[in-house]
Amino acid sequence: MKELSRRSFIMGGGTIAAATAAGLAGCTPAGTPSVAAGDVRLFVPPGEHDEYYMFASGGHSGQIFVIGVPSLRRIRTIPVFSQDSATGYGFDEHTKAMMGDFTWGDLHHPSLSETKGDYDGRFLFANDNANNRAAMIDLTTFQTKQIVGPIPNLMGPHSAVFVTPNTEYFMMGTRFSVPMDGAYYELDQYSAKYDGVMQAIAIDQATGFMTPAWQIKLPPWNYDLSDAGKGPSEGWAFMSTYNSEEASTLLEVNASKNETDYCMCINWKAAEQAVADGKYTEINGQKVIDPEKTEGVVYAIPAAKSPHGVDVTPDGKYFITNGKLAPICSVFSFEKMLKAIDAKDYLETKRGIPILNYESVLEAEVEAGLGPLHTQFGLDGWAYTTLFVDSTVAKWKIGEWKVVDTVAVQYSPGHSTAAEGDTVSPDGKYLVALNKLSTDRHLPVGPSHPENMQLVDLASDKMAVINEAPIDPEPHYAQTIKADKIKTIFVIPKDPSNPDSIWSEEEARIERNGSDVTVYALAVRSRFLPDVVQVNQGDNVTIHLTNIDLDQDITHGFAINLHNVNFEVQPGQTSTVKFTANKAGVFPYFCSNFCSALHQEMQGYLLVKPK
Amino acid sequence: MSAVSLSNEAQGGSAQAQESSDPGKKKVQPRHKKKFPTASRGLLIGGAILLLVSSFLPWWGLDLLAPQYPEGLSIIVYPDKLAGQGEYDIVNLNALNHYIGMDKISEAGFPELQYIKYIIWGMAALIVAVALLGSRKLAYIACALFVVGAAVGLYDMYHWLQTFGSNLAPDAPIIVPPFVPPMIGENHLANFTTYSSFRIGFFFLVASAVFVFVGTWGDKLWARKRA
Ligand SMILES: [Cu+2]
């Protein structure tokens, strides 16, 4: 009753070697003098699990990186907007259809589903800054389950996506402004005819599936990042903006002129109500709320200068813009904001948007340092701001508004992620700085270097970098969730209603209907059935392949020589591939994902009879 | 020796006791030949309950451990079904076993799983009947059935272990010499170590047998002791 599994021997050895290397590297991060020798705070011994999952956006790789914290081991890469031959994502019919006309995406901001403002470990949402799409990943399988879009009327939904505190909506705002209805106007019409958009996507609570719900038309400014209100500020969202200059060329200069841009304050519950009340216009099938026509939805506060991140404190009382081109974080009070709105304490109204008086809403300015980009939170009101230009992380306290500690990171942190650091109850403990440049930190690999993740210890009085690891391009934002909140499954559940699946060797068959050939195939250690498929040149071939090995980690691959076909079937999964047998000849097919001792024997022949 | 017990107050059904105490009507019977006392009947009922409970519990199991199966695979035998520790243990065991050419293990392959449960229930009913009727003859039959059942059951298990371990397909990818997995204890084959043992239901069976045997012969022993 045994298996001489070469795979497990090989895999086992590899895992241990990798774990040991990570452990050693962790113990002595080169050139980080602040690390005490033999520091065990970050050491995760081989075979033990990390305390947290970190979900890092993969930027223009179109993927999500799953990383263990504190070890910083990369555990998995989830293909989302880009093809991935390692999993067959974008090769089988289902994922190909999901990806639509695109083979890549620019995945900027992952957002974990929440219940009462706390991560609940069900779903992960992400945006595609390149193709105006959103994706949902099911955290029972770590597979991308849905992509919606391109959604009409918006362009470059970069503005840090967020979910509302009970995952009612997944929202994203546009980086680029274009004519909203897709019409053609030259750039000299920029201010008049171009629009920004905030997109709300409704979430089905049972399945996580997304449906575009409504849009808010916004001035042609660039929306950068955003966060949802929580607690007292639940029902609101805050979004940073730059280019209030409305420049359309050479933004580097022309969008950096104003001393202040804006923090947008959006009452999304009011927007939801406005839609329910029919106060919207339909553009390209989308329900669009226009603040010039509907009051009480959008407000703005001046904020210094080209702010990047906007972050809501865990208690929901404050929202903070990070100055980027100004060395301060502006802390706004939600309570004061409501008062200013009540008192109509407006500087002016722009395009129907009341601009609140900065002084009236400001709680404090934190002199954070140069290039503040993003703030995360820890225990007891501690806040941690990444400083891109200073290349540090600054620690300060809500209520005291003064930096008490900084730690140098290598180099130029964009975002950071603290353990549950943007929820209602941050854990403290760890923060990972997502550094844009690694320069000399790792073995050189040519002119371009990897990005650099650094683990900062938050448990001690003084922050210290205690671990680091390179990472592929390019994490922008990440979220870090307690590992025990995620409940994965080990076998894809059998779906008896799926007509493409077969579950026994007797059901394996080839059906022909004219020139359409359908193969119902199965993969089981270590064979394919059928393992001979004979077709005529020109036939349209459909192969449904089910992995009937219902054993964790026994994933099979299916690749056909010279056919650009390669996909995986996870335990219990059925996948489909279609192609036209244009080339006459003999083409082996084989298991491309090491499965068992006789994996190498797991093959078959596709015989394409010449016309 | 039997006469002494006569003087004891009648325990097992007063009608008979009175009858037999009438020397003019019937010859006095030795105490142990009479119907069972309450304690014995209680034991018999207890034995029947234990037997009934055992029919819902696993009787025997085999745990398999290998480097790549740190959590192990199990095959657990109930009187009426096969199960694993995990939902798919038996599917996976079969997937592995095919490498050495072993037959597929499935419930359909063991016809006795269709009726063992009913035999057990029948036995339990018989024992209850023994207790209620107090019939010694029936009690001896029940005890005999226990002995026969145990012998047949153990032989059946050995037969299956031997059959599965020995009838290996000659064209299997991996050739191993025929083997008989032990009924109890540890065994090694390739990367697997197996541990076989009787499970809780078996101990209920044993306890049931003890109850029934003591219920059948206990009063004799007590009587002997008193004497
Ligand atoms: Cu395989």
How far CA A299 is from CA of A160, A194, A295, A296, B153, in Å, comes to 18, 19, 9, 8, 81
pLDDT tens per residue across span B141-173? 989 998 999 999 999 999 999 999 889 999 988
Q: Is the pLDDT of residue A136 over 90?
A: yes
Check if the beta carbon of residue A78 is closer than 8 Å to that of residue A144: yes
* The pLDDT of residue A170: 93
pLDDT tens per residue across span A234-262? 999 999 988 887 877 777 777 676 778 88
Residue of A nearest to B168 (CA): A1
Could you list the residue range(s) of the whole structural domain that residue B210 is in? 36-226
Max Cα separation, chain B?
Answer: 83
Residue of B nearest to A598 (CA): B173
Residue B21 maps to a domain? no
In the three-class reduction of DSSP (H, G, I as helix; E, B as strand; rest coil), residue A425 is classed as coil
The half-sphere exposure of A426 on its side-chain side, counting CA atoms within 13 A, is: 27
Q: How far A431 CA lies from chain B's nearest CA (Å)? A: 33
* The pLDDT of residue B227: 58
* The pLDDT of residue A158: 87
The phi, psi pair for A115, rounded to 5°, reads: -125, 125
* The pLDDT of residue A11: 30
Tell me the residue type at B189: L
Check if the beta carbon of residue B161 is closer than 8 Å to that of residue B184: no
Mean pLDDT of chain A: 88
Q: Is the pLDDT of residue A129 over 80?
A: yes
Judged by CB atoms closer than 8 Å, whether chains meet at B88 and A524 is answered as no
Confidence of residue A46 (pLDDT cuts 50, 70, 90): confident
Rounded mean pLDDT of A381-403?
93
* The pLDDT of residue A226: 87
Q: How far A589 CA lies from chain B's nearest CA (Å)? A: 20
* The pLDDT of residue B11: 42
What is the topology classification, in CATH, of domain A505-609?
Answer: Immunoglobulin-like (2.60.40)
Hey, is the C-beta of B179 within 8 angstroms of any chain A C-beta? no
Q: Is the pLDDT of residue B39 over 80?
A: yes
Hey, is the C-beta of A474 within 8 angstroms of any chain B C-beta? no
CA distance B8 to A493: 68
Hey, is the C-beta of B172 within 8 angstroms of any chain A C-beta? no
Confidence of residue A597 (pLDDT cuts 50, 70, 90): confident
* The pLDDT of residue B22: 47
From 3.20.20.70, 2.60.120.10, 2.60.40.10, 2.130.10.10, which CATH number describes the A3-485 domain? 2.130.10.10
Hey, is the C-beta of B193 within 8 angstroms of any chain A C-beta? no
Residues of A within 8 A of B91 (CB-CB) are: 548, 550-551
Convert A260-302 into a string of H (helix), E (strand) and C (coil): EEEEEEEEHHHHHHHHHCCCCEEECCEEEECCCCCCCCEEEEE
Q: Is the pLDDT of residue B226 over 70?
A: no
Query: How much distance in Å is there from the Cα of A557 to the middle of ligand 1?
Result: 6
Check if the beta carbon of residue A302 is closer than 8 Å to that of residue A355: yes
What is the pTM (predicted TM-score) of this model?
0.85
* The pLDDT of residue B7: 37
How far CA A412 is from CA of A148, A372, B117, in Å, comes to 33, 11, 72
Check if the beta carbon of residue B194 is closer than 8 Å to that of residue B69: no
The DSSP output letter for A8 is H
Hey, is the C-beta of B105 within 8 angstroms of any chain A C-beta? no
Q: Is the pLDDT of residue B49 over 50?
A: yes
**Pick from A57, A46, A55: nearest CA to A75:** A55
Hey, is the C-beta of B6 within 8 angstroms of any chain A C-beta? no
CA distance A479 to A66: 10
How far CA B192 is from CA of A164, B63, B77, B92, in Å, comes to 51, 10, 20, 14
Q: How far A325 CA lies from chain B's nearest CA (Å)? A: 54
B31 or A271, which is more confident: A271
Query: How much distance in Å is there from the Cα of A459 to the middle of ligand 1?
Result: 45
Q: Is the pLDDT of residue A498 over 70?
A: yes
Cis omega (within 30 of 0) for bond into A497: no
A537 or A21, which is more confident: A537
**Pick from A111, A101, A109: nearest CA to A131:** A101
Judged by CB atoms closer than 8 Å, whether chains meet at B173 and A8 is answered as no
Question: Per 3-state DSSP, what percentage of chain A is helix, strand, and coil (rounded to 5)?
Answer: 15, 45, 45
Q: Is the pLDDT of residue A16 over 70?
A: no
Residue B12 maps to a domain? no
Rounded mean pLDDT of A458-483?
92
Q: What is the dihedral of CA A601, A603, A604, A606, to 10 degrees?
A: -140
Concatenating the DSSP letter of every residue in A504-561 gives: SGGG-EEEEETTEEEEEEEEETTEEES-EEEEETT-EEEEEEEE---STT--EEEEET
Q: Is the pLDDT of residue B24 over 60?
A: no
ipTM of the complex: 0.74
Hey, is the C-beta of B155 within 8 angstroms of any chain A C-beta? no
The phi, psi pair for B180, rounded to 5°, reads: -120, 110
Query: How much distance in Å is there from the Cα of A609 to the middle of ligand 1?
Result: 27
* The pLDDT of residue A41: 62
Q: Kind and range of the H or E element at A391?
A: none
CA distance A590 to A603: 4
Residue B1 maps to a domain? no
* The pLDDT of residue A21: 34
Query: How much distance in Å is there from the Cα of A380 to the middle of ligand 1?
Result: 51
Judged by CB atoms closer than 8 Å, whether chains meet at B191 and A2 is answered as yes
Check if the beta carbon of residue A566 is closer than 8 Å to that of residue A592: yes
Which of the residue ranges A17-31, B85-99, B126-140 would you say has the lowest mean pLDDT?
A17-31
Q: Exposed (0-12), middle (13-18) or buried (19+): which is B22, by Cβ within 10 Å?
A: exposed
Judged by CB atoms closer than 8 Å, whether chains meet at A549 and B92 is answered as yes
CA distance A268 to A319: 16
- Pull the structure tokens for residue B17: 């006791």
Q: What is the dihedral of CA A70, A76, A80, A86, to 10 degrees?
A: 160
Judged by CB atoms closer than 8 Å, whether chains meet at B99 and A7 is answered as no
- Give just the sign of the alpha carbon dihedral A155, A157, A163, A164: negative
Residue of A nearest to B95 (CA): A525
CA distance A94 to A145: 10
Residue B105 maps to a domain? yes
**Pick from A234, A416, A426, A236: nearest CA to A314:** A426
Cα A458 from chain centre: 24
* The pLDDT of residue B30: 52
Residue B2 maps to a domain? no
CA end-to-end distance (rounded Å), chain B = 6
Residue B164 maps to a domain? yes
Residues of A within 8 A of B174 (CB-CB) are: 4, 597
* The pLDDT of residue A20: 33
How many folded domains does chain B comprise? 1
**Partner residue opposite A2 with nearest CB, options B88, B92, B100:** B100
Q: Kind and range of the H or E element at B152?
A: helix B136-166
Residues of A within 8 A of B92 (CB-CB) are: 549-551
Confidence of residue A116 (pLDDT cuts 50, 70, 90): very high
* The pLDDT of residue B45: 92
Check if the beta carbon of residue A37 is closer than 8 Å to that of residue A30: no
**Partner residue opposite B95 with nearest CB, options A8, A525, A601:** A525
Percentage above 90 pLDDT, chain A: 72
* The pLDDT of residue B122: 93
* The pLDDT of residue B2: 38
CA distance B170 to B164: 13
pLDDT tens per residue across span A59-93? 999 999 999 999 999 999 999 999 999 999 999 99
Confidence of residue A40 (pLDDT cuts 50, 70, 90): low
Q: Report chain B's C-alpha Rg in angstroms.
A: 24
Residue of A nearest to B194 (CA): A1
Do the strands B60-66 and B69-77 form a parallel or antiparallel pair, or are they unpaired? antiparallel
Query: How much distance in Å is there from the Cα of B37 to the middle of ligand 1?
Result: 67
Contacts of residue B39, defined as CB under 8 A and 6 or more positions apart, other chains included, come to B218, B219
B107 or A12, which is more confident: B107
- Pull the structure tokens for residue A84: 């991935």
Q: How far A596 CA lies from chain B's nearest CA (Å)? A: 10
Q: Is the pLDDT of residue B58 over 90?
A: yes
Domain boundaries, chain A: 3-485, 505-609
Residues of B within 8 A of A594 (CB-CB) are: none
pLDDT tens per residue across span A518-572? 999 999 998 999 999 999 999 999 999 999 999 889 999 999 999 999 999 999 9
* The pLDDT of residue A2: 37
